[in-house]
Amino acid sequence: MSEQITERKGEQPPEVLRLVDSQLRREWEEYQASGLQELIGGMHLCLVLDALERTGVAERLRRGPAHPDQLLQGLDAEIGGNLLRYLELKGAVASEEGRYRLTARGQLLMSPISLAQLGFYVAAYGPVISETARLLSGELLYGRDVRRDTGALGRHSATMFHRFHTPTVLKALESVGTRVLLDLGCGGGQLLIDACTLDGQLQGIGIDIAEDAIAYARRRAEEAGVSDRIQFFVADAFAPQSWPAACAGADTICAVGMLHEPFRRGEDAVVEILDLYAGLLRGGTRRFILGEPELRYDDREHDSDFYLAHVLTAQGFPRSWEDWLPVIGRSRLSCRRLLMRPGAGQRLAFFELASGDGEAQA
């Protein structure tokens, strides 16, 4: 096109000067060698994938090839259309006769499990991690000015939990004979929903400090048809004296991914809380199932990401299961069994605890 214009005007093509500066080339090569190019691309792709999950586009793409207007219902058609082209550049979708479909890479990236894991970091912890500079400078304080998105945390943890951890907890419950299960820090309530769906006689009680997680859990229980057997309450799991009266009827208690929080006040704080729970077991509850994520500081399986999320949210640090045993050993609870499912899902260890003095045998 430009050549035709040039011809018509009778002008010579422009002179092209390719400047060579070895110093500038070296600096650019160093940038390329840093790997940042891939990291920046990965960061943006993560943000876009999370947006596709939140807006329902990922789910529509999973259903099969579709035209942009089907995929982008209710969304900005221009931005959406351009995002689909961006995803094509990234190899996540391919287009044929105006319809987009997931490529093999796109199917892996947009599976419910991948998007839940991504949502854990981007949607739930992103509001905090993106404020690292102002948290570092002291301009913002976690808990006062900035918070993780507990609704997103509940939702995405629920997907992961259902797939990878419910079966392990149910295995732990097999030998206990539970009729009323109390889940402390229940988040999106998935464990109770799964357990009550599988056992038509089981009753569940879930408590969590986050109102939006409890609202989500109630909605999910309704959808699953088990809301008549599960009660959800907003309450502080570390203050049993403030719990609703219904909790006293529980015969098994579990707490998954919550008890590491008091580690920020030191080990004694965790031992104190374990002792509080030991007191509840004497009241008839037979087992306490403690599920805790592992942090091994070896940068495998998201260790550094998990660490960062805990640093910036002023939480205590999870630790390896071996390091939990001496902490439990200092309390009035004893560990009867340890269940793990290595290599499947986020690293979690489940400790079956009973009153250490033998008063509360199953």
Ligand X SMILES: C[S@@+](CC[C@H](N)C(=O)[O-])C[C@H]1O[C@@H](n2cnc3c(N)ncnc32)[C@H](O)[C@@H]1O
Q: Give how far Cα 78 sits from Cα of 26, 72, 83, 106, Å.
A: 39, 10, 9, 21
Which of 45, 46, 48, 209 is close enough to bind ligand X by CB under 6 A?
209
277 binds ligand X (CB under 6 A): no
Closest distance of CB 163 from ligand X, Å: 11
313 binds ligand X (CB under 6 A): no
262 binds ligand X (CB under 6 A): no
256 binds ligand X (CB under 6 A): yes
208 binds ligand X (CB under 6 A): yes
292 binds ligand X (CB under 6 A): no
Contact assessment for residue 60 and residue 100, using Cβ atoms and an 8 Å cutoff: no
Q: Which is nearer to ligand X, 90 or 156 (CB)?
A: 156
230 binds ligand X (CB under 6 A): no
161 binds ligand X (CB under 6 A): yes
Closest distance of CB 156 from ligand X, Å: 9
154 binds ligand X (CB under 6 A): yes
356 binds ligand X (CB under 6 A): no
206 binds ligand X (CB under 6 A): no
List the x/- string, 166-185, binding to ligand X by CB under 6 A. -------------------x
**CA 18 from chain center: how many Å?**
50
Closest distance of CB 291 from ligand X, Å: 7
318 binds ligand X (CB under 6 A): no
Closest distance of CB 64 from ligand X, Å: 31
Kindly indicate which of the ranges 2-10, 150-158, 245-253, 277-285 contains the residues binding ligand X, using the contact rule CB under 6 A.
150-158
* Six-digit token string for 84: 């689909």
Which of 80, 204, 257, 356 is close enough to bind ligand X by CB under 6 A?
257
Residues within the interface to ligand X (CB under 6 A): 150, 153-154, 157-158, 161, 185-187, 207-210, 213, 236-238, 256-258, 261
